[in-house]
Structure 1
Amino acid sequence: MSDPNPTRSDREDTRTFLQKLAEFIHPGPDSTDELIDWLGDAERSQIIGADSRKMLEGVIRMADMTAGDVMVPSTRMELINISDPYDVMMHGVIDTAHSRFPVFDGERENIIGILLAKDLLKLQRAPELNIRALLRPAVFVPESKGLNDLLRDFQSNHNHLAIVIDEFGRVAGLITIEDVLEQIVGEIEDEFDIADDEGDIFGLPDRSYRVSGDTLIERVENAFGVTLSSSDPDDEFETIGGLIAHEMGHVPKRGEHFVLSGLDFVVLHTKGGAVKWFKVSPVPVNAS
């Protein structure tokens, strides 16, 4: 009696002679680079579209990446001090406009939890609440954590942020699910990103302004009643982000200040080496 479930080797090879010959002459890719080259060929042959090719390349490259490769370094982390008054916390949340913040107690290395911006608003209605009771557990991952594994953890645990730890157990940075997904789909619009037709200069509660880095210099001049020019008269810039970066002399980093024409520009958010948003306020007349 024949085996009703033949092994794979016993099954009939249904490939045609030409298919076998083609596979012998053109074997499958032996490396990641070859596989990516295949995707390029598939796009040129119109088997897949450009967007599909980019996403598939991102998935392939991500397999070799770790949390340490894409994390926000600890020096650029926006943290909340559990000992700060409510008003200080709220101003920090408004200025950075993130949705989640690591919270520390005493030293910045001592992360005790994650605070959601929406939870902080609960204190307005119930000031008697203990802010510690609002904290969510912090998730810690090593720098060597693979992005594939981390994405699965984010999905299964419903976490959107993890604290990255170095080999000595110190805080090395943080990583979000957005950071991971951007390796596949490219940049994702976040809390700071708005449509071009929705404006580029916004008033903030503390009487300062949030200004997009790609705002035309002429528009900033008209809005604040100042004249902005480069220290080098031969240089011409169209956007405020380009002008400030040139005057600073380096790629701006979050939290850096630069004063120009009586305006204090604070870098709020950067992407790809360019400033996405500034916080702008007039420098007090009596400031030294």
Structure 2
Amino acid sequence: MIEYFYIGFVIILILDFLVSTTLTAESSASVYTPGDSQGHSEAIITLTRGADETVYALHVARSFLHFLLAALLVGLLVSYNLMIWWAVLIAALPGAAVVVAFELIIATMVSRQPYAWLARMQVVSRTAVLLFRPLNGIKTPESLRLKEVDEEPGQTPVTAEELKTWAAAANETGGLEPEERRMIQSIFEFGDILCREVMVPRMDVRSMDVNTTVSEAIQAFIRTGHSRIPVYENDLDNVVGILYAKDLLQHTDLTASLKTLEGLVRDAYFVPETKKVDELLREMQERGIHIAMVVDEYGGLAGLVTLEDILEEIIGDIRDEYDPAEEQPYQKLGEDYFLVQGWMDLDEFNTIFETHLTRDLAETVGGYVVAALGKMPVGGEDIMLENWQATVEQVSGRRIRKLHLHKIEQSSNMED
């Protein structure tokens, strides 16, 4: 009797392997373009186009096999005189381990050549569809909701993971330009970006006191080129509103009689620096605002975020004829010699110079150097950034402006 349990166990494992392999191949192939299927039959392309019904049937088949596998394991343990609840508990552990191991092995094996594996598994796909077609009309509430948002009949919703798979495949085959790759990657990462990562820091915020005269405010707009400037009372931690240049221009009769800006400022919108930029973008759209003041955990001003800052995270720098000439974050001076701006983003620095500096200390190279030294450095002071020697070139106030980098080759020969 026990022998039948083991035979059934092996048969179910084989069937589960075949179904899971086919399901993985079907899901992977569905995000490739038809040109990727060259060398495979039209039947395979047809299977991928009708993936909705096939994938559903394969999911049902796999769930059915997992149920049989669990039932066999419980029956086997009960045959050894174990109580039913103990049998269920003990069977769950090896059963889950087997399923996870199968998924990892299959994903690694199939993802590189989905069409080739799908061609081998045609029989499995067609059999699953044939056997479980009567259940195809049974839908969960979630699947019904997905179906409702389909704009065209037969359109299959695409998940984020499928989009990532497609982007990775297109990248490997050269189907994407560098700027397209960067934009797609930015979209995937957009939901994880915080306001403090894109904001204009407090030290770079151009602002004016509420007691500034109208004529001085006009000159400030001309000088900075900004269309909106924060207005504060007494100090920058007490922002009372935002002054719009168009308000000055549209009310020339009023501004001529005003001595201060108090009657012209609009309410400011405040957000914490830990707020995600995708949430802020939605709020800006709903409220019709273009600028938000970012505050730290103590309520002080940390910086500001504009709608342009957020959009630049996706599409790159937006420049117009009034923007000053762009200053590059680094400049190559010679072989293994570079001049780096202190404001250079730490992630970009890690990518360019192949380092692994952590953002726990700071988000810019200059900030990292100050935090690592534990003091404000002076010009000419050195610090090692892994295999790069950084020399402080220029300091302005409490900010490092520029650093010289020189690569230090690590000697493989250790002297006694």
Q: TM-score range by the shorter chain?
A: 0.5 to 0.7
Contact 1:97 1:191 in 2 (8 A): no
Alpha-carbon distance in 1 for matches of 2:226, 2:305: 13
Unaligned runs of 5+ in 1: 1-11, 194-210, 215-247, 254-272, 274-288
Counting only pairs closer than 5 Å after superposition, residues 140-155 of structure 1 correspond to structure 2 as 140-155=270-285
Counterpart position of 2:54? 14
Deviations along 1:187-223, whole A, 9 cap, x unmatched?
A: 0114623xxxxxxxxxxxxxxxxx7578xxxxxxxxx
Contact 1:178 1:188 in 2 (8 A): yes
Structure showing greater Rg:
2
Counting only pairs closer than 5 Å after superposition, residues 155-170 of structure 1 correspond to structure 2 as 155-170=285-300
Deviation at 1:108, TM superposition (A): 1.7
Contact 1:77 1:173 in 2 (8 A): yes
Counterpart position of 1:114? 242
Contact 2:211 2:262 in 1 (8 A): no
Counterpart position of 1:131? 261
Give the strand-richer structure, 1 or 2.
Answer: 1
Deviations along 1:211-247, whole A, 9 cap, x unmatched?
A: 7578xxxxxxxxxxxxxxxxxxxxxxxxxxxxxxxxx
- Paired residue secondary structure (2:192): coil
Contact 2:212 2:261 in 1 (8 A): no
Q: Which moved more, 1:124-133 or 1:78-87?
A: 124-133
Contact 2:207 2:229 in 1 (8 A): yes
Unaligned runs of 5+ in 2: 1-51, 63-102, 115-159, 328-391, 398-402, 404-416
Alpha-carbon distance in 1 for matches of 2:210, 2:56: 70
Alpha-carbon distance in 1 for matches of 2:208, 2:314: 30
Superposition TM-score, scaled by structure 1 size: 0.55
Aligned length: 193
Select the residue among 110, 126, 133 that pairs with 1:25: 110
Alpha-carbon distance in 1 for matches of 2:326, 2:184: 31
Deviations along 1:58-101, whole A, 9 cap, x unmatched?
A: 11122211001111111111002110122221111111010111
The structure-2 alpha-carbon separation of the partners of 1:213 and 1:174, relative to structure 1 and needing over 3 Å to count, comes to: closer
Q: Which moved more, 1:176-185 or 1:124-133?
A: 124-133
- Paired residue secondary structure (1:92): helix
Counting only pairs closer than 5 Å after superposition, residues 45-60 of structure 1 correspond to structure 2 as 45=173, 47-60=175-188
Superposition TM-score, scaled by structure 2 size: 0.40
Task: Tell me, yes or no, if structure 1 residue 61 matches structure 2 residue 189.
Answer: yes
Give the helix-richer structure, 1 or 2.
Answer: 2
Counting only pairs closer than 5 Å after superposition, residues 197-236 of structure 1 correspond to structure 2 as 212=325
Contact 1:40 1:53 in 2 (8 A): no
Alpha-carbon distance in 2 for matches of 1:87, 1:110: 23
The structure-2 alpha-carbon separation of the partners of 1:184 and 1:40, relative to structure 1 and needing over 3 Å to count, comes to: same
Counterpart position of 1:94? 222
Aligned-residue CA RMSD in angstroms? 4.2
- Paired residue secondary structure (1:132): coil
